[in-house]
Amino acid sequence: MNDPERKTGSARNIIERITREIESVRSLVDSSAPEITSLESALEHAGEDSPIARDLTETFETLAAFPGGSAPSRDAVLAVTISEDRMSATARLLPPIGAGSFPKPEEMLSRLRENHGIRYGLDERAVRGLISLVASERKAAEAIVARGKQPLPGRGEHYEIVADLPAPPQIDEHGRIDYRAAASVPAVEPGDLLARRFPAEPGSAGRDVLGNIVPPPAKEEKPLLPGEGTEARPDGIHAAVAGEFVREGRILKVRPVRIVEGNVDYSTGNIEFPGSVIIRGSILDRFIVRCRGRCEVLGTIQAAFVEVEGDLSVAGGIVGREIGVVRCGGTIRCHFIENASVESRGDVIVEKAILHARIDTAGFVHLTGKPGTLIGGRIRAGRGVIAQAIGSITETATRIHFGEDYQVIRKRERIEEGILFLQERLQETLGLLRSLDPEENRAAVADLKSLQKQILEDIRALLIAKAASLEALAEFPDGCVAAFDRIHPGVTLVSKGVEKFVEEPMQNVVVRRRGDRFTFLPATDAVLPGKDDLETRKEEKKGDGHGD
């Protein structure tokens, strides 16, 4: 056998082997499998990014590139995704292969309706644009081809406040609060409209792309409610009495306002009032003023007793003469404080000076003007003290506690006094018990032992309460002491067990506690009570409900 015959025989053997191998592969194919011409629908359901789509596309391209080969044609493939809320439909179009063609816009719109159930919001322009884009770039693209109509929620009965409410302190362009601009009491008269009523408004239904009606969502309303001193009428909530208009959560109230045209003295007597009080003069020595609202004093508070649940504004000063006491549930604003005991759950804002006073506040003690000095006395300010100068060149003893809640400290002090008292009583019972003959005084001995047991239980309860107060004290936010001029020698700084006696002048300084020591940094405007502090305190005071 010559070489040509040998080569021909070898080729024939190879062809036969390949034929057998092809037949064995063909036996793996299900006879019921679709023809190649039905692959368009398979690709449409599988998606362009599926493994089968990628494999078939690569096969088509390989066959088309093979010399003398040809690939089956495939029309453009449409895949549609409907959003979870059925408010949009996205079409993805794969370009055709070989002699395949693009659908006409009318045909594609028909397929979207008939094959994919889209009955509402079809966008013919988007369909035409998608076909044009895929045809020009010859690569897959997608577009939103249908959009539903969102339902519009309705509203229940609601109110809009139309009367003036107490204005918060103004914040300047630097984010600082103008504490000098104290707001006046917003007074209303009987019959004044406080909040206008709006009836319920029905919503409108929407439709999804499948044509289903989407009902409007229900909106839960928490309308404003009439409180004391107000009344509900068809058009809204009105004032029933003359007084101060306030809002507490969802409740609107009018607190009656008492106006004293002159001083609080023998002509008026002591004043106790359930609303707010405006005093157009001063509160003289040894007189008492109590009110559940806010209080404005256009003169001074002398050696008097004043208890205010709201804010206190004093145009003059507070001159306690070492016997005057002022207690306030809100913020205190005044010109100066001298020789007085002052307690406030809010800030204590003083324009000029604080001299030899005892001040307890959960907020800041803030001297806003000039000279802005704090000299002598004892200050317990939870948030801290901000002044121009603290102490004096004569080294006047001045004690400042900061970063501590004075109410917790008071409670802890009372607990410690109680523990000491009980320990003394326990020792007293022990001494008495030792002096008695057990046989001759059985009843008394039994009573003493029972009393001792009760005392020990009480001491244990107080120790637990003390531990809780110490934990509350530790969790109270750290404060700071800032002096933009100086802190003089003679000042003692205390915060959560850390104490420092100032022996040398400290100029332009901010003092903060860090662990078991104090840090001293240059004072900057950043330490001033600003917008963040105001928002924090507003959140703390906010009631649980919300208005409209």
Distance CA 473, CA 291 (A): 30
Q: Is the dihedral of CA 55, 57, 62, 68 positive or negative?
A: positive
**Residue-level pLDDT at 324:** 94
For 173-186, letters b (16+ CB in 10 Å) and e give eeebbebeebbebe
Full DSSP string of 291-316: ESS-EEESS-B-S-EEEESS-EEESS
Q: What helix, strand, coil percent values describe the chain, rounded to 5?
A: 30, 35, 40
**Residue-level pLDDT at 320:** 93
244-297, pLDDT tens digit by residue?
Answer: 888 888 999 988 888 899 999 999 899 988 788 999 999 999 999 999 889 999
Distance CA 252, CA 91 (A): 54
Residue 68 has pLDDT above 70, yes or no: no
Query: In Å, what is the CA distance from 518 to each residue of 354, 474, 496, 497?
Result: 24, 16, 11, 11
363-413, pLDDT tens digit by residue?
Answer: 999 999 999 999 999 999 999 999 999 999 999 999 999 999 988 888 888
Distance CA 289, CA 277 (A): 9
282-319, pLDDT tens digit by residue?
Answer: 999 999 999 988 999 999 999 999 999 999 999 999 99
Q: Say how many CA atoms lie within 13 Å of 442 toward its Cβ.
A: 1
**Residue-level pLDDT at 280:** 94
Cα-based angle 20, 11, 61 (whole degrees, multiple of 5):
65
- Domain locations in the chain as residue ranges: 41-147, 158-253, 409-475
26-59, pLDDT tens digit by residue?
Answer: 444 444 444 444 445 555 555 555 555 555 555 5
Ramachandran angles phi, psi of 2, nearest 5°: -80, 175
Going by C-alpha positions, the residue among 353, 340, 424, 435 that lies closest to residue 392 is 353
Rg (CA), the chain: 42
Distance CA 114, CA 283 (A): 86
Distance CA 294, CA 290 (A): 10
**Residue-level pLDDT at 30:** 45
pTM: 0.55
Going by C-alpha positions, the residue among 201, 195, 199 that lies closest to residue 236 is 195
Q: Return the bridge partners of 375, or none.
A: 355
Let me know: does 82 contact 116? Beta carbons within 8 Å: yes
**Residue-level pLDDT at 542:** 44
Residue 171 has pLDDT above 60, yes or no: no
Going by C-alpha positions, the residue among 365, 437, 449 that lies closest to residue 400 is 365
**Residue-level pLDDT at 180:** 39
Query: In Å, what is the CA distance from 459 to each residue of 141, 415, 421, 432?
Result: 79, 10, 10, 19
Q: How far apart are the first and last CA of the chain?
A: 105
Going by C-alpha positions, the residue among 492, 484, 485 that lies closest to residue 376 is 492
Let me know: does 247 contact 168? Beta carbons within 8 Å: no
Contacts 24+ apart (CB under 8 A), 457-464: 458/422, 459/419, 459/422, 459/423, 459/426, 462/415, 462/418, 462/419, 462/422, 463/419
Strands 305-308, 288-291: pairing is parallel
Neighbours of 443 (CB within 10 A): 7
